[in-house]
Amino acid sequence: MIEKTNYIPSMFGEYVFGDDIMREKLPKDIYKSLKKTIEDGKDLDITVANVVANAMKDWAIEKGATHYTHWFQPMTGITAEKHDSFLSPQKDGTIIMEFSGKELIKGEPDASSFPSGGLRATFEARGYTAWDPTSYAFIKDDSLCIPTVFCSYGGEVLDKKTPLLRSMELISTEAIKLLGLFGINDVRRVIATVGAEQEYFLVDKDMFEKRKDLIFTGRTLFGAMPPKGQELGDHYFGSIKPRVMSYMEDLNRECWKLGIFAKTEHNEAAPAQHELAPVFTSANIATDHNQLTMEIMKKVANKHNLVCLLHEKPFAGVNGSGKHNNWALATGKGMNLFDPGKGNIAENKLFLTFLCAVIKAVDKHQDLLRITATSAGNDQRLGGHEAPPAIVSIFLGDDLCTVLEAIETDGEAIEIRKQRMETGVHVLPDFQKDTADRNRTSPLAFTGNKFEFRMVGSSFSVADPNTVLNTAVADVLSEFYDRLSGAEDFDTELKALLRDVLKEHKRIIFNGNNYTEEWIREAEKRGLCNYVTTPDAIPHFTDEKNIELFTKHKIFTKEEIISRSEILLDDYANHVNIEALTMLEMAKRQILPAVFAYTKEVTDTCVAKASIGIVDVAAKSTVSDLTELSAEFSDKIDALEAAQFKFRELKAASDKANFCRDTILPLMKELRRVSDIMETTVGEKYWPFPTYDDLLYGVN
């Protein structure tokens, strides 16, 4: 066991051009200058870039790299890269290995080939990638990967990282200003920290390759529930199967090599579902790490003859997969601004101020948080018993709500301290309870010293929710600063401020069961948003208040907001359309022939038995049922095909999205309903692809 674990510290970050490598490879003055750029946001000197580029190149070649690439995160939601070799030809026909500061700082991918929502025409092709020195370069697939941002020739933002970085600078600035009013003047930066828990499914690769729906869409479009699902709760935190454990061990190693803080692994609630959770780091690096983690999950699975499914709802009837985005704010010295402290919570004015800032920000911009968690895939998941509903609310727990109620009513402050949990067994240790319970039904839950945003889909980039959280909270912190900085009596004005915030925005706080119908009705009374589907939510991205928020703080321009709305609607419609086309192909070319073949065999059996005077009632009933079902199935196919023709005639992204929601998805649901009934009737050897029984229980 010692030999097995001793290698981890030496392996960790092996393929990362991190701080220790930079300190070793760079001259002291260059290293100090680069650190100032990273930590203080100072401009990057081209001289520094040249030295860093050469050191990166030498280090990468030592590690076996032959190419470099600007690694960026376009609006596709995944990453992109274009590889160039270090090779540089000489006049005498020889070559040398070169990499300049100019090549490090800037690249030129084709901007017209990525989603732009109308910002770029096809003939307007030039785009730029620019080095992000706040995220370490790393080696992947024998290439030096340089984290970058991505913009068009006209400067329009075409990626997810640029707005995230802008929002991180913004919330740092506003938080530092507010901290100064509390007499905390030695803070140089405040960091938005994130830990993204990643849920996923594993299925056998051979079975996966027999399912066109999984191949083309990432989820099963047909499939009857197996006799056993997740009813017994025996898979959650259960013993991990040997094949899965072998996969997890390899996954950890590959993550650790790239400096990813893979920490926790376990079985999730649904059969074949699992989770990987990392240690917290800055929002920027956490976003990069999560994108890499998803890619590594798929690659490692392939080596084990498995496939990793990151779709939000790959199997109807069992839990889907989310990505719990744990968000907090910390000073550069490690002080967590959401830590209630060990003393009386009611007296921790700094904590209560930042807590109330989140309450106000989330209430004002609940629509934006909902939008960051919307897609065709996540629409399948939200509102089920593994995911919060589409209504955004905050869970704080009874203790904190008691403190806040006293502030709102100007009542006497009630002393609330963390309590000790007594086990009642002498040999077992007592321990300190958290400030609040965990509410798994809440979209945004305070979990002791951070906020857990549970709505994000498993395939999503976490850049979007963290951009919104940073921007919305920073905007409120700015309002707080403006009001408090001119106060004659700071404590009196702070008390009034917190009271006003709670009176106006307490509607967003809900500690109960978010799954109940009563909460839906209560939320409507409170005036909370309930955007059930993607087409319901996306149009609100361009609401005047949201445009004002992002443009005021220079996170997005109005045009960039509109373009992102178009991209999201287009993405939704395209995903649903691909699913519909896949369903039609499977229905016509696989399911119907299988049903006809089985019906013929049973019919032939009936005829053979009848010829010797035997009437097989069960067989005749089966033939009758399948004949009726296959006719209904054919009608459903015709209806979905007709809808497909209408879909192709539509031009506007919003019209396509609405048509998918209102017409195509209901028709798909009906087609599946009939198929799933036939699946339970047709003989097992006739069914044309692996069933839920095979997929959910096929990995041992």
3-state secondary structure 423-455: CCCCCCCCEECCCCCCCCCCCEEECCCCEEECC
Q: What is the pLDDT of residue 123?
A: 64
Partners of 95 in the β-ladder: 89
Q: Are residues 80 and 175 in the same domain?
A: no
**Contact of 99 with 56, CB cutoff 8 Å:** yes
Residue 589, pLDDT above cutoff 60: yes
Residue 471, pLDDT above cutoff 80: yes
Per-residue confidence band for 201, with pLDDT thresholds at 50, 70 and 90: very high
Length of the chain (residues)? 700
In a domain, 567, yes or no: no
Q: Are residues 298 and 362 in the same domain?
A: yes
User: Rounded to the nearest 5°, which phi and psi values hold at 455?
Assistant: -85, -20
Which amino acid is located at 633 in the chain? F
Q: Are residues 93 and 142 in the same domain?
A: yes
**Contact of 207 with 690, CB cutoff 8 Å:** yes
Residue 184, pLDDT above cutoff 70: yes
More confident residue, 111 or 511: 511
Q: Are residues 116 and 191 in the same domain?
A: no
In a domain, 566, yes or no: no
> What is the CA 328 to chain-centroid distance, rounded?
17
In a domain, 484, yes or no: yes
In a domain, 611, yes or no: yes
Q: Are residues 171 and 146 in the same domain?
A: no
Q: Are residues 340 and 417 in the same domain?
A: yes
Domain with residue 83: its CATH number is: 3.10.20.70
Q: Are residues 398 and 292 in the same domain?
A: yes
Within 13 A of 675's CA, how many CA atoms are on the CB side?
28
Q: Are residues 519 and 598 in the same domain?
A: no
Mean pLDDT of the chain, nearest integer: 91
Task: Compute the distance between CA of residue 546 and CA of residue 551 in angstroms, rounded to an integer.
Answer: 8
In a domain, 625, yes or no: yes
Task: Compute the distance between CA of residue 21 and CA of residue 25 in angstroms, rounded to an integer.
Answer: 6
Q: What is the mean pLDDT of residues 658-670?
A: 98
Q: Which of 571, 545, 574 is nearest to 558 (CA)?
A: 545
Q: What is the pLDDT of residue 385?
A: 67
In a domain, 561, yes or no: no
Q: Are residues 446 and 581 in the same domain?
A: no
Q: Are residues 214 and 72 in the same domain?
A: no
Per-residue confidence band for 421, with pLDDT thresholds at 50, 70 and 90: confident
Number of separate domains in the chain: 3
Task: Compute the distance between CA of residue 220 and CA of residue 579 in angstroms, rounded to an integer.
Answer: 10
Q: Are residues 318 and 236 in the same domain?
A: yes
Domain with residue 248: its CATH number is: 3.30.590.10
**Contact of 219 with 672, CB cutoff 8 Å:** no
**Contact of 574 with 124, CB cutoff 8 Å:** no
- Give tens-digit pLDDT for 255-270: 999 999 999 999 998 9
Ranked by mean pLDDT, the top range of 95-99, 131-135, 305-309, 329-333 is 305-309
Pairing of strands 273-278, 262-267: antiparallel
Q: Are residues 364 and 467 in the same domain?
A: yes
Last residue of a domain, one of 126, 158, 190: 158
Cα torsion 31, 37, 43, 47 to 10°: value is: 20
Partners of 487 in the β-ladder: none
Q: What is the mean pLDDT of residues 383-405?
A: 89
In a domain, 271, yes or no: yes
In a domain, 564, yes or no: no
Q: Please give the share of the chain, as a percent, with pLDDT higher than 70.
A: 95
User: Rounded to the nearest 5°, which phi and psi values hold at 124?
Assistant: -95, 80
DSSP annotation of 239 reads: P
- What own/partner pairs with CB < 8 Å and gap ≥ 24 does 246-253 have? 246/304, 247/202, 247/300, 247/301, 247/304, 247/306, 248/274, 248/276, 250/300, 250/303, 250/304, 251/276, 251/296, 251/297, 251/300, 253/11
Last residue of a domain, one of 109, 130, 158: 158
Q: Name the residue range of residue 345's domain.
A: 167-556
Q: Which stretch of 148-157, 193-202, 333-342, 414-423 has the lowest confidence by average pLDDT?
A: 414-423
Q: What is the mean pLDDT of residues 435-443?
A: 77
Helix (H) or strand (E) holding 667: helix 665-679
Task: Compute the distance between CA of residue 69 and CA of residue 84 in angstroms, rounded to an integer.
Answer: 6
Q: Which of 291, 368, 286, 293 is nearest to 328 (CA)?
A: 286
Last residue of a domain, one of 158, 185, 210: 158
Q: What is the pLDDT of residue 427?
A: 79
> What is the CA 353 to chain-centroid distance, rounded?
28
Task: Compute the distance between CA of residue 649 and CA of residue 221 in angstroms, rounded to an integer.
Answer: 25
Instruction: List, in order, residues 6 or more apart from 289 with CB less than 8 Å away.
Output: 196, 258, 259, 260, 261, 278, 281
